[in-house]
Each structure stands twice: as C-alpha cells, then as structure tokens.
C-alpha cells in the first residue's frame, strides 16, 4: 500500500565539507601490499577464486560473488601472498593479501562493452562480473538489487546523491568531476533494471555538483533522466526517507523499495557502472573522504581497494598529537576504528580523524525526562522515548508495538537527547536480543518437532513390534490348536 | 593513537537536561519581577526558602536512596519545582508551609516514585494540592496588589466570581469590584502577561513545544467563549479566564513538565486540551478558587491511557 508521505523529522546539521572539496580528487599511489577483505561491507564474504602464489593483474577476479558479497578483483598486478584473517572494518575478517609488483598491468580480459546492444539480463551479468556494489556504504551487489527490481517491475531508478552525513563529501566530489559518468551509469542501469525513468536526487547544499550534473544531462539529452534537488536534511540519504522525500511513497516495513516501484542506487555506483561498460574496468578503487582536524589537509582521495587507512591519513598529513578518534563513515552512523591498518573496502566512504573539538564527547547519561525531542527528529516517526523504556524493561510486546523494527539507526534521537542516552545503541542491542530470541524459539520449535517425530517413531515401532508379537502368538496358538486337534 | 571503539552516533548536540532546566528558570524571571512589583519582595524570600528546602530534600532523598547526589543536585530540576510552587502560592504564605509543600513535592511526589523522569504526577502540583486541601485559608488569601497586606488580604478574582455568581450577581456587577482588572484579575493579569512572555521565550528557544500550551489555552478559551456567548450574565469571558489565576503559568510552565505529560505530539494535544477544559470546569462549577493544579493532576492520571492511543503511525506501517 502506498500513501503520500513527506519527510518528517531529521536534523539540519552544520556541514564540514568545504575543506576536502577545496581540491580535486587526489589519486593515491597503490600500496606495496593490498589487503582485500572478502567482506567489502555487506556483512558477507565472497568466495576466494585464487590461490597463494598465483599471479594476478589489475582487474583479475580474485573472489566470486557469494550471496550479498559481490565479486572482487585485484586492484594491482602482482602475486597473491595469502588468504588469511586480518583486521577489517568489522573487527577481523578473511582477506586476500596481494603483493604489488608495481607494474600496474591490466588483465587482458578486461574489455569495454557496447551496452546498448546488450539485453537487460546480459547487462546484469556484466555488472555482477564487474563486482559493482553499493558504494554508498552498503556494498550490496548492484546486479542483485537491479535484478530484483527487474523481476518486480520497477518504474523509477532513484540515484542517491543526497550525502547527508555532515563530514562526508566523496559523492559530491565525484559528481562535480565525473557527472558524465554518473549520467552514463544511470542510462546503463535503466537498461539493466527496466525502469522507465531515473531521478538523480542531490541535496541543495551541493550547487557545484548540481551544476555539473545539469550540464552532463544536457549533453546526454535523455528525457528519462531528471535531476531533483532536496533539502539538506540528515538522514535523507537513507533509503526509506529518500524514497519518501522524492516519491511520497513509503517502503513497507517488511518490504523493499521495489515493492513501491523504486530501486535506489548511489551516484558513485552509477559512475562505477559507467567505468565498467566504457573501459571494461571493474571496481578496484573508490573515492574516500579523509577529513577531520586529525589530518592537516583534508581531501577526497581515490584509493585502490585494500589500501590501509593509515596510508590515506598519511597522504593527507597526519597530525598525531593529542587525542583523536578514527571513524569509518560519518559522525552519525560511522563505525569507530581501533586500528588504522584496516583496508579500504567498497563500502568505505569516509575516514574521519576527529579531535575532541570536532566531535565533543557526550556527557554522563541521565534519566529520560520524556521531553520527546527524539520523537520530533525521528525520520521513522517512532517514539524513541517509549521504545527506550520498553528496551530497558525488555518488554517484547511493547517493543513490537512501538516499532523497533522500523528504526533505521540513523542516530538522530541520540543527537538531540538532553539526557545523553545512547538510544541507538540500546535499540541495536534490543534488536540483537530479539534476533537471538527468535533464533532460540525457532531452535526450540525444531527440537520439539524432532522430539515429537522421534516419539511418534518410537510409538509406531512399539506398535509394530506389538502387532508382530500378537501375530506370532496367534500363529503359534493356531499352530498348537491345530496340534490339539479340537 | 586509537581509542576504544564506541557506538555511533559519535556526535551529539550537547543540549543537556541542566540547560533545559536553567532556561525554564530564566523564563520565570519576568513572573518573579512582576510579582515583586505588585506584591513586594516577599516572593524573593519564598523563592529562596523554596530553593534551599528543595535542594535539601533532594539531597536527603538521594542519600536515602543511595544515589550519587552531585549530578542530580546540579540538574536544576528540583529548583524548577521549587520556583513553580513558590510562584503559585500566595506571597503571604508562611515560609514553613512552603517548605512543607516542597517536602511533599520532592520527597513523595518525585523520589518515592523513583526520582527524575519517573514521577507520574507533577511534583509542584502535588505540593500545591496538598497545601491547598490542608491549609485552605492560608492558601486562598491573596493580598491586593501594591497594598498593605494586613488590611487588604482577601479573595481573588476567581474566588469572588464564583461566590458572587452563586449569590445571583451578574457578571457586570461582579466585574466592577476591586478584585478585577482590565481583562482578568487586578495583578493577576500582569502575572499572566509575564508568564506569557516567559512562555513565548521557551517556545522560541524550543525548550517547550507548542502543543500543550496551545491545546490548554484553547481548552479553557473555547468553552468559556461558548458559554459567555450564550449567557454573558452568568459566565466570565474567555479573555477573563485567560488572564486570571494560573492560566499562563499553567499552560507554559506547569502542564509542559514533560515527565508527567503525554509524550507524542497528538497525545500532548489531548493532554493539554484536557487540562484546559478541566481547569475551566473546576473554576466554573467546582469548589476551589483555581482549577489548574487539580486539572494537571487529573490529566497526569490519564497519561498512560492517552499514550496508549496516540502512538503515531510509523513509517512503512499501514495506518
């Protein structure tokens, strides 16, 4: 069901994007060793397709797509050293370690394709083979998403250039410099998913990106493509709020955007698709914002996948003195990092080296005073104050009634809470408990049915034995009765 | 160089409960100033007694409950309770009676239920109600503005209105009396104006959202206007009700206490309207001079019910 829906809630945050955007995207030299995490950000690992000692070139497939993990390609030419656990964004994960021979030779199998002559299904295959994944942060395989959209029959391809996190500006830089790629990628994706039109949604605090896209759209002269500017409100870049703001439709809580005729893709993903069809180059690098007062010269850098974050920071001039926090992603939804050795992945859009001046620490937690500021900013229209109470009591029924499942973990409620309650973390924990409980219940149900089947089998067996015994006795009696000659 | 991993978000607005509370106290300054102008400096003494006894009660309660006392004493919430109660009672009230009211508010209404954030009833109004039913004489004698207390203490405009209407005086006759000012009560109308100024400040600073004050004022004004329209001889006008008693103080400072109020926007509209309507009903047909305190306490009772039926439609969920 669809109903008209406006964006509600959200935060107007002060942007910190000017410094990295002062200069064009910096091409970072390839590191001597790349560490390719099999989990590029989607939470699942791809299937390694190389062995230690094997020679690879730029673009050689090193891991095959596996579920929600897209195919992975070597970003350098060289030799596979090992496939081993290494520190990654999510703690530790299996990585393919490749020693760079410095020659930067391309795999000869990489060929551009004439996408206009390809059928939608073939294009999807091509996009899957090129390892294209959600570069907005989700790193979900683009071909899977577009394929689902194609099968569902969506009407609208929504390109997400909102980029609402206050520190991240890699998409902004990319739209300014590669607007033509974004537009070409949009056309290719339209052909792949079968949608009738495409809206490129950009927040209105990016006038230069909007100008560049306007020019690229004029050149492309494709009437199906349209540029839409949106108010700069966090978290408009999240899928649900974005769909609501652009189309007025709401994604059902138990569904996906294709159910309301929309498929969302990030603008950087579109540019990656363009590069794939035009140059034959799979995703082997990405633009990352390196920013915060912990670096001397914040910049957007294009880094090969597998480059350690430490090298990104070093390239921007690390100022190591004083306390600083490393965050992968934005200040609201990013992940705190313990280790600067973790490698760049497809899902990494920003490295924030924040000093206490950038991100003041939150104060001591106080009791909730039910002020309701959290409800005012919640884009999912939840009542976080009520959810919080339910989470504290672990009241399953209340958690469901107040819509725990609809929380998108944007962090807006935390941001405004005068009592400094870590609401988002509490909700995530409550969800985890819920998941474990569901798992437990499922396991119990399985065990119960197994036990019942076992009991039934035993009963049947006993019954059969009983019958066999009776039968045998009757037969024996019959035999004896015939023996007595009555 | 790295620090322990923390959960997102990594940034907060930095607006804290103490800052909320001190903004509320700041917004009460105009009310206190008008109070001093009308009734003399007695209110400053009451505010001081109220503040000290409130902090003392808070410290005792925290100690008894074995809670760390420093942050809770500094959060300012108990000072807001004290200030509201001190401004709600007549300035002639003996200081020890105020201290008793504060003790009831802080020890019983707040801490017996679990302290900040847990009290189902507005503590200041519990204190007020206990004082009113226990010491009705002391609690209902207001001095005439600017006058000599001993000579001039008497009934308030709302009081006079109710008793006179029962004696079949008409509104016109009653309003010619000394307790009545330009629109509301003499003095009372200026207090209400000052509370309105402070309330607008709270709205502008986004300490208070508009739902409860607007709904409460409408809850008083709409029935008052209707009854006044049909029977102007027996019912005071809406503007009189808005400018008399604790209307504005109630709408912006008392009913808006978030802890004991309904929590969704729609719920707050219902809650505020209920307080307004009950206030008007108690003033019109009840036995007490003003109805704000009882209206707030009654609607506090209804909050769980209101909250239950005013959950907003969640994104992605059908109506």
pLDDT score, position B319: 62
Q: What is the dihedral of CA B256, A395, A401, B263, to 10 degrees?
A: 0
Identify whether the C-beta of residue B133 lies closer than 8 Å to the C-beta of residue B118: no
Which pTM was predicted?
Answer: 0.86
State chain A's mean pLDDT as an integer: 92
Query: Could you say which residues from 289 to 328 on chain A have a Cβ atom under 8 Å away from some Cβ of chain B?
Result: 320, 323-327
Q: Which of A320, A366, A388, A420 to mutate to test the interface with B (most CBs of B within 10 A)?
A: A366
Burial of A435 (0-12, 13-18, 19+ CB in 10 A): exposed
Cβ contact, residue pair B17, A369, below 8 Å:
yes
How far B117 CA sits from the closest chain A CA (Å)? 4
Q: What is the largest CA-CA distance in chain B?
A: 82
- Which is more confident, B156 or B103? B103
Q: Which of B2, B69, B212, B316 to mutate to test the interface with A (most CBs of A within 10 A)?
A: B316
Lowest mean pLDDT among A181-190, A341-350, A461-470, B153-162: B153-162
Cβ of B68 under 8 Å from any chain A Cβ? no
pLDDT score, position B143: 80
Q: Is the pLDDT of residue B2 over 70?
A: no
Cβ contact, residue pair B116, A383, below 8 Å:
no
Q: Which residue of A has its CA nearest to B7?
A: A425
Identify whether the C-beta of residue A157 lies closer than 8 Å to the C-beta of residue A193: yes
- Sheet containing A299-304, strands listed edge to edge, beginning at the edge strand earlier in sequence: A26-27, A299-304, A285-291, A350-354, A325-328, A335-337
Q: Is the pLDDT of residue A485 over 80?
A: no
Residue A2's pLDDT band (cuts 50, 70, 90): very low
Cβ contact, residue pair B12, A360, below 8 Å:
yes
Interatomic CA distance for residues B188 and B145, integer angstroms? 9
Nearest CB partner across the interface for A360, out of B2, B14, B259 = B14
The DSSP 8-state label assigned to residue B142 in this structure reads B
Identify whether the C-beta of residue B194 lies closer than 8 Å to the C-beta of residue B30: yes
Residue A480's pLDDT band (cuts 50, 70, 90): low
The values of phi and psi at residue A161, to 5°, are -120, 25
Q: Which of B5, B7, B10, B58 to mutate to test the interface with A (most CBs of A within 10 A)?
A: B10
Cβ of B176 under 8 Å from any chain A Cβ? no
pLDDT score, position A319: 81
Q: Which of B5, B6, B12 to mutate to test the interface with A (most CBs of A within 10 A)?
A: B12
Cβ of B120 under 8 Å from any chain A Cβ? no
**Which residues in chain B have Cβ-Cβ distances shorter than 8 Å to A252?**
316-317
Question: How many contacts, defined by CB atoms under 8 Å, are there between A and B?
Answer: 162
Interatomic CA distance for residues A144 and A147, integer angstroms? 5
Cβ contact, residue pair B2, A382, below 8 Å:
no
Query: Could you say which residues from 242 to 261 on chain A have a Cβ atom under 8 Å away from some Cβ of chain B?
Result: 244, 250-255
Interatomic CA distance for residues B130 and A252, integer angstroms? 51
The average pLDDT across B285-299 equals: 89
Determine what percent of chain B is predicted with pLDDT higher than 70.
Answer: 94
- Sheet containing A61-64, strands listed edge to edge, beginning at the edge strand earlier in sequence: A47-48, A61-64, A72-73
- pLDDT tens for B230-258 read 988 888 889 989 988 899 999 999 999 99
Phi/psi region, residue A292 (left: phi>0; alpha: psi -120 to 50; beta: rest), is: left
Q: Which residue of B has its CA nearest to A367?
A: B117
How far B280 CA sits from the closest chain A CA (Å)? 26
Nearest CB partner across the interface for B11, out of A240, A332, A422 = A332
Nearest CB partner across the interface for B9, out of A368, A382, A414 = A414
The average pLDDT across A106-127 equals: 91
Cβ of B12 under 8 Å from any chain A Cβ? yes
Contacts with A379 (C-beta within 8 Å, 6 or more apart), sequence order: A7, A8, A9, A10, A235, A238, A240, A241, A408, A410, A412, B315
State the number of CA atoms in the 13 A half-sphere of A120 facing the CB: 15
Q: Is the pLDDT of residue A180 over 70?
A: yes
State the number of CA atoms in the 13 A half-sphere of B249 facing the CB: 32
How far A191 CA sits from the closest chain B CA (Å)? 29
Residue A3's pLDDT band (cuts 50, 70, 90): very low
Interatomic CA distance for residues B229 and B231, integer angstroms? 6
Angle at A296 between CA A290 and CA A297, to 5 degrees: 55
Residue B1's pLDDT band (cuts 50, 70, 90): very low
Q: Which helix (H) or strand (E) holds B49?
A: helix B42-64
Nearest CB partner across the interface for A251, out of B4, B9, B316 = B316
Cβ contact, residue pair A411, B8, below 8 Å:
yes
Interatomic CA distance for residues B267 and A359, integer angstroms? 35
**Which residues in chain A have Cβ-Cβ distances shorter than 8 Å to B312?**
375, 381, 383
The average pLDDT across A421-443 equals: 93
> Residue B167: helix, strand or coil by DSSP?
coil
Cβ of A4 under 8 Å from any chain B Cβ? no
pLDDT score, position B271: 98
Residue B214's pLDDT band (cuts 50, 70, 90): very high
Cβ contact, residue pair A354, B116, below 8 Å:
no
pLDDT score, position B150: 53
Identify whether the C-beta of residue A402 lies closer than 8 Å to the C-beta of residue A381: no
Determine what percent of chain A is predicted with pLDDT higher than 90.
Answer: 83
Q: Is the pLDDT of residue B180 over 80?
A: no
**Which residues in chain B have Cβ-Cβ distances shorter than 8 Å to A369?**
17, 20, 77, 116-117, 258-259
Interatomic CA distance for residues B126 and B101, integer angstroms? 8
- Is the peptide bond prior to B9 cis by the omega test (within 30 degrees of 0)? yes
Which of B318, B218, B317, B222 is closest to B268 using CA atoms?
Answer: B218
Q: Is the pLDDT of residue B310 over 80?
A: yes
Interatomic CA distance for residues A107 and A60, integer angstroms? 6
Identify whether the C-beta of residue A302 lies closer than 8 Å to the C-beta of residue A25: yes
Packed helices B17-27 and B77-88: angle between N→C axes, nearest 10 degrees: 20
The average pLDDT across B91-97 equals: 93
Determine what percent of chain A is predicted with pLDDT higher than 70.
Answer: 97
How far B194 CA sits from the closest chain A CA (Å)? 24
Cβ contact, residue pair B263, A420, below 8 Å:
no
Q: Is the pLDDT of residue A113 over 50?
A: yes
Interatomic CA distance for residues A19 and A265, integer angstroms? 27
Residue B168's pLDDT band (cuts 50, 70, 90): confident
Identify whether the C-beta of residue A333 lies closer than 8 Å to the C-beta of residue A395: no
Q: Which residue has the tokens 């105009």?
A: B30
How far A383 CA sits from the closest chain B CA (Å)? 7
> Residue B52: helix, strand or coil by DSSP?
helix
Q: Is the pLDDT of residue B25 over 70?
A: yes
> Residue B185: helix, strand or coil by DSSP?
strand
The average pLDDT across A146-152 equals: 94
Q: Which residue of A has its CA nearest to B12?
A: A415
Packed helices B17-27 and B29-39: angle between N→C axes, nearest 10 degrees: 30
Torsion sign across C-alpha atoms A311, A135, A166, A408: negative
pLDDT score, position A7: 63
How far B75 CA sits from the closest chain A CA (Å)? 9
Interatomic CA distance for residues B30 and B20, integer angstroms? 17
Long-range residue pairs from A210-216, CB within 8 A, at least 24 positions apart, any chain: A212/A175, A212/A176, A212/A177, A212/A179, A213/A161, A213/A175, A213/A179, A213/A182, A213/A183, A215/A179, A216/A179, A216/A180, A216/A182, A216/A183
């Amino acid at each position: 069901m669809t109903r008209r829906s406006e964006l509600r809630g959200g935060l107007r945050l002060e942007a910190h994007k000017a410094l990295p955007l002062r200069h064009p995207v910096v091409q970072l030299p390839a590191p001597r060793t790349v560490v390719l995490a099999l989990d590029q950000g989607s939470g699942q690992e791809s299937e390694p397709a190389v062995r230690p000692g094997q020679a690879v070139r730029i673009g050689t497939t090193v891991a095959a797509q596996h579920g929600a993990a897209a195919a992975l390609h070597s970003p350098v030419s060289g030799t596979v050293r090992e496939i081993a656990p290494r520190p990654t964004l999510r703690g530790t994960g299996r990585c393919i370690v490749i020693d760079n021979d410095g020659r930067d030779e391309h795999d000869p199998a990489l060929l551009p394709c004439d996408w206009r002559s390809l059928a939608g299904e073939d294009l999807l295959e091509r996009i899957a083979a090129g390892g294209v994944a959600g570069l907005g942060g989700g790193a979900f395989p683009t071909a899977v998403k577009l394929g689902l959209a194609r099968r569902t029959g969506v009407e609208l391809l929504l390109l997400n250039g909102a980029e609402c996190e206050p520190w991240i500006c890699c998409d902004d830089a990319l739209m300014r410099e590669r607007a033509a790629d974004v537009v070409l990628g949009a056309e290719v994706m339209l052909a792949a998913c079968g949608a009738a039109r495409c809206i490129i949604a950009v927040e209105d605090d990016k006038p230069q990106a909007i100008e560049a896209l306007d020019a690229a759209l004029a050149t492309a002269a494709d009437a199906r493509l349209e540029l839409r500017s949106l108010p700069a409100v966090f978290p408009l870049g999240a899928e649900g709020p974005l769909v609501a703001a652009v189309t007025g439709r709401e994604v059902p809580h138990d569904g996906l955007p294709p159910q309301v005729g929309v498929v969302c893709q990030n603008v950087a993903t579109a540019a990656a698709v363009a590069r794939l069809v035009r140059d034959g180059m799979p995703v082997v690098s990405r633009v990352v914002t390196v920013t915060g007062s912990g670096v001397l010269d914040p910049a957007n850098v294009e880094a090969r996948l597998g480059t350690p974050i430490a090298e990104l920071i070093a390239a921007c001039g690390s100022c190591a003195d004083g306390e600083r926090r490393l965050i992968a992603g934005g200040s609201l939804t990013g992940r705190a990092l313990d280790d600067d050795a973790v490698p760049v992945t497809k899902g990494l859009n920003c490295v924030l080296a924040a000093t206490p001046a950038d991100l003041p620490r939150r104060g001591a937690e106080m009791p909730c005073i039910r002020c309701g500021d959290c409800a005012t900013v919640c884009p999912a229209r939840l009542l976080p104050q009520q959810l919080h109470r339910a989470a504290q009591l672990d009241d399953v029924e209340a958690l469901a009634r107040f819509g725990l499942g609809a929380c998108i973990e944007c962090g807006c409620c935390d941001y405004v809470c005068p009592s400094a309650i870590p609401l988002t973390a509490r909700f995530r924990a409550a969800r985890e408990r819920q998941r474990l409980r569901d798992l437990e219940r499922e396991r119990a149900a399985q065990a119960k049915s197994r036990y019942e089947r076992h009991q039934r089998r035993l009963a049947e067996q006993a019954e059969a034995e009983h019958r066999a015994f009776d039968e045998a006795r009757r037969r024996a009696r019959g035999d004896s009765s015939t023996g007595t000659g009555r | 160089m790295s620090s322990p991993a923390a959960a997102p978000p990594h940034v907060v607005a930095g607006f804290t409960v103490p800052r909320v509370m001190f903004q509320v106290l700041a917004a009460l300054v105009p009310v206190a100033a008008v109070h001093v102008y009308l009734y003399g400096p007695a209110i400053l003494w009451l505010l001081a007694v109220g503040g000290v006894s409130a902090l003392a009660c808070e410290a005792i309660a925290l100690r008894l409950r074995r809670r760390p006392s420093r942050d809770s004493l500094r959060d300012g919430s108990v000072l807001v309770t004290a200030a509201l109660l001190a401004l709600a009672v007549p300035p002639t009230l003996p200081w020890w009676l105020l201290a008793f009211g504060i003790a009831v508010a802080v020890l019983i209404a707040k801490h017996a239920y679990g302290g900040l954030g847990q009290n189902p009833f507005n503590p200041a109004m519990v204190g007020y109600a206990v004082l009113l039913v226990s010491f009705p004489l002391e609690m209902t004698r207001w001095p005439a503005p600017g006058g000599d207390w001993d000579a001039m203490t008497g009934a308030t405009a709302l009081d006079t209105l109710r008793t006179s209407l029962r004696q079949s005086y008409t509104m016109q006759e009653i309003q010619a009396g000394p307790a009545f000012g330009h629109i509301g009560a003499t003095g009372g109308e200026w207090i209400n104006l000052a509370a309105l100024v402070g309330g607008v400040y709270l709205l502008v600073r986004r300490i208070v959202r508009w739902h409860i004050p607007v709904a409460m004022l409408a809850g008083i004004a709409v029935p008052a206007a209707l009854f006044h329209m049909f029977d102007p001889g027996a019912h005071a006008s809406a503007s009189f009700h808005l400018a008399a008693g604790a209307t504005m103080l109630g709408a912006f400072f008392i009913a808006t206490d978030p802890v004991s109020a309904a929590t969704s926007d729609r719920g707050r509209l219902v809650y505020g309207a209920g307080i307004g309507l009950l206030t008007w009903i108690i003033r019109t047909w009840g036995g007490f001079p003003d109805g704000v305190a009882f209206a707030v306490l009654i609607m506090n009772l209804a909050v769980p019910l209101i909250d239950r039926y005013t959950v907003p439609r969640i994104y992605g969920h059908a109506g």
